[in-house]
């Protein structure tokens, strides 16, 4: 194996402790009832658009756009207030770095949020590449973001791994020709079955992810 790539929200970082409270703040501004934390958490991988659609299902397209813009403005003020690596991930990344294996991020989150988020957590300089949702014209589930990341770190798809907590991640990795791991510990929406996404492996914890990556590297 030559590289390991990760989705961001719900795979590498537990961003829900910042993203869900922002949704609560937006709901309060609009005079709406708050949403249970666990319900909103299950949709964080769908980004700001998915969270706003969940909270305002009756809003028009134009209204949703305005609400999403407000959500993003609020979120930009607290990117790293509560967000952290999932427990055990620092050791996982350290193990990859000790082996000399580059790791990177492929996310649909826009770059103006992704870059300061990773920098604020001391991760940007450690990542061999960061592909955000606006780095290329295409976004996941299109395979090109993962293909671009693999090329950027000097690897080949068949000797790379992509890890994500959404169906679009697995579709993108498979389309790019990488090995894929579904992170079932992440923000999997109700009714979704990570075992049905066609990943090469499904893990339910970071410890299991670490063991699975170690096995593939061996």
Count Cβ atoms within 10 A of the Cβ of residue 61 and give its class: 0-12 exposed, 13-18 middle, 19 or more buried: exposed
Is residue 146 within 8 A of residue 176, CB to CB? The reply is yes
- Name 12's Cβ contacts closer than 8 Å, sequence gap at least 6: 6, 85, 86, 89, 105
Range 115-130 burial, b when 16+ CB lie within 10 A, else e? eebbeebebeebbbbb
Kindly name the residue from 7, 14, 18, 169 that is annotated as catalytic: 7
Kindly name the residue from 9, 14, 18, 165 that is annotated as catalytic: 9
Residues found in the chain: 218
State yes or no: is 7 an active-site residue.
yes
Structural tokens at position 128: 């061999």
Residue 6, helix vs strand vs coil: strand
Measure the CA–CA gap between 38 and 103, rounded to whole angstroms: 30
Structural tokens at position 202: 């499904």
- The residues assigned a catalytic role are 7, 9
């Amino acid at each position: 194996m030559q590289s390991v790539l990760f989705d961001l929200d719900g795979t590498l970082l537990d961003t829900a402790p910042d993203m869900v409270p922002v949704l609560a703040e937006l709901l309060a501004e609009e005079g709406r009832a708050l949403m249970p934390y666990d319900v909103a958490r299950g949709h964080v991988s769908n980004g700001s658009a998915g969270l706003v659609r969940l909270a305002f299902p009756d809003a028009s397209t134009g209204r949703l756009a305005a609400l999403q813009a407000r959500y993003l403005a609020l979120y930009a003020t607290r990117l790293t207030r509560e967000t952290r690596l999932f427990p055990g991930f620092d050791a996982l990344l350290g193990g990859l770095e000790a082996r000399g294996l580059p790791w990177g991020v492929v996310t649909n989150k826009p770059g103006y949020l992704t870059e300061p988020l990773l920098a604020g957590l001391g991760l940007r300089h450690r990542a061999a590449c960061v592909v955000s949702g606006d780095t290329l014209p295409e976004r996941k589930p299109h395979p090109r973001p993962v293909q671009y990341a693999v090329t950027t770190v000097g690897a080949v798809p068949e000797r790379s791994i992509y890890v994500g907590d959404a169906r679009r991640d697995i579709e993108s990795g498979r389309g790019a020709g990488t090995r894929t791991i579904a992170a079932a510990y992440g923000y999997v929406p109700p009714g979704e079955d990570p075992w049905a996404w066609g990943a090469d492996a499904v893990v339910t914890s970071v410890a299991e992810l670490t063991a699975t990556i170690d096995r593939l590297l061996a």
